[in-house]
């Protein structure tokens, strides 16, 4: 009799556990991965590099190796400006995206685009993403010195000002530790090689990782 009761109790426990799973209490294996889009230019697209060496691919591998369930989408277009990124924002960042790294502005500076135009486009990108409930990490850029000191000061101030105004985290300089280092760049001296991309990933990773953990803690990923 005792054995029969034990079997009945065990059956009830299994049934209840199954019901909990069906009713939507997701296990770790059932949760959707964090969906991260990197919106940028050739520095994101992976200029003259195999796809697996581009920044989004390397970032995804490192994050997964560190135990994060994440999918990183490459939304980089070589030659793109901040205005170009704004024009393709709707289709480049799909619904269900949790986090966007915005890396734009390098081509604006190279072409001498007025900093106020760059700031306006980046402001629109960030606010539109925020309106969609998507978290943003703004990656800063610096103007080349040949544009002159006045342009350089005005352009370089864009990113910190926007981050403060719009309350988004800022990674101050996307090419930190890589710019002007011949060991980390292609022969053109402007685009990172695979080792340079790995250096960027290593430096930006703690910031990205903190945001992913924060999103998971708030239960704001696409699977919720």
Catalytic residues: 42, 188, 191
**Could you give phi then psi for residue 98, rounded to 5 degrees?**
-95, -35
Q: 69, exposed or middle or buried, with CB in 10 Å at 0-12, 13-18, 19+?
A: middle
* Contact (CB, 8 A) for 212 and 66: no
* Contact (CB, 8 A) for 47 and 31: no
CA distance 94 to 97: 6
CA distance 56 to 43: 10
* Contact (CB, 8 A) for 115 and 149: no
User: In 106-180, where do the E strands start and end?
Assistant: 135-139, 170-171
Of the candidates 77, 72, 74, the residue with the CA atom closest to the CA atom of residue 36: 72
Q: How many CB atoms lie within 10 A of CB 26?
A: 11
Q: At what angle do helices 115-131 and 149-166 cross, to 10 degrees?
A: 20
């Amino acid at each position: 009799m005792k054995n029969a009761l034990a079997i009945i109790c065990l059956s009830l426990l299994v049934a209840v556990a199954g019901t909990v799973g069906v009713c939507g209490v997701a296990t770790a294996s059932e949760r959707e991965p964090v969906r991260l889009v990197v919106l940028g230019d050739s520095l994101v697209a992976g200029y003259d590099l195999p796809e697996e060496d581009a920044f989004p691919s390397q970032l995804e591998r490192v994050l997964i190796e560190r135990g994060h369930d994440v999918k990183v989408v490459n939304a980089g277009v070589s030659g793109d400006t901040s205005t170009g990124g704004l024009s393709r924002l709707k289709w480049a960042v799909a619904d269900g995206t949790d986090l966007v790294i915005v890396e734009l502005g390098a081509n604006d500076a190279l072409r001498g685009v007025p900093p106020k135009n760059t700031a306006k486009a980046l402001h629109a990108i960030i606010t539109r993403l925020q309106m969609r409930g998507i978290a943003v990490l703004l990656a800063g850029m610096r103007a080349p010195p040949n544009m002159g000191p006045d342009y350089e000061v005005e352009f370089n101030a864009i990113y910190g000002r926007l981050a403060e105004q719009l309350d988004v985290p800022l990674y101050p300089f996307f090419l930190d530790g890589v710019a002007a280092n011949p060991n980390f760049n292609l022969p053109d001296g402007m685009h990172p090689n695979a080792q340079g991309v790995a250096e960027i990933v290593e430096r930006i990773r703690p910031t990205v990782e903190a945001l992913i953990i924060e999103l998971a803690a708030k239960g704001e990923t696409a699977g919720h």
